[in-house]
Amino acid sequence: MQWVIPTEAEAECLGVTISSRMDWAGQVDKVVAKCRERLYSIKAFLHRRFGMVKQPLFKSLVRSVMDYASLSWHTTGKGLKKKLENIQKKFLQSIRLGCLEDNGRHDAYFSQYRQHLGETGWHPLWQRRLEGILLNTYAI
């Protein structure tokens, strides 16, 4: 008796969507959708002036989802990485801790993303993933 193993376009293992083409687009789209949902919940419950309160919520509810298994799909293209980075960028826009211009106003187009990261003491997501890869490599 001969058994035929069916092929799948996508499979899910431990919450990570693996495509037969190994392009990670499905995984990134799933993570972005889940993070947006959580981000908008945080924005809905807390006013903008509660930026310091929102940070731990973002780290625990949103960034933990972005970081989960991110080392395995770190090889994605720039477009998918930008989608993920935009989640963190939108959050930083919503809290606006400090003023970016000399005149005391915020940058309306949010071109100073790195400066906002510095205000919170955070790193870009790509840097966090690289640090995770280095830590795991060192541990081995």
Q: Where are the domains of the chain?
A: 24-139
Q: Average of pLDDT values for 11-30?
A: 86
- Distance (Å, whole) CA 27 – CA 101: 37
pLDDT the model gives residue 65: 92
Q: pTM of this prediction?
A: 0.75
Strands 16-19 and 10-13: what pairing?
Answer: antiparallel
Is pLDDT at 125 greater than 70 in this prediction? yes
User: Which three-class secondary structure state does DSSP give residue 61?
Assistant: helix
pLDDT the model gives residue 97: 56
Residue recorded with tokens 């083409």: 21
pLDDT the model gives residue 101: 47
- Distance (Å, whole) CA 12 – CA 18: 6
Model confidence at 109, pLDDT cuts 50, 70, 90, reads: low
Sign of CA dihedral 36, 40, 46, 47: positive
- On average, the pLDDT of the chain sits at 82
Model confidence at 54, pLDDT cuts 50, 70, 90, reads: confident
Do residues 66 and 37 touch, judged by C-beta distance below 8 A? no
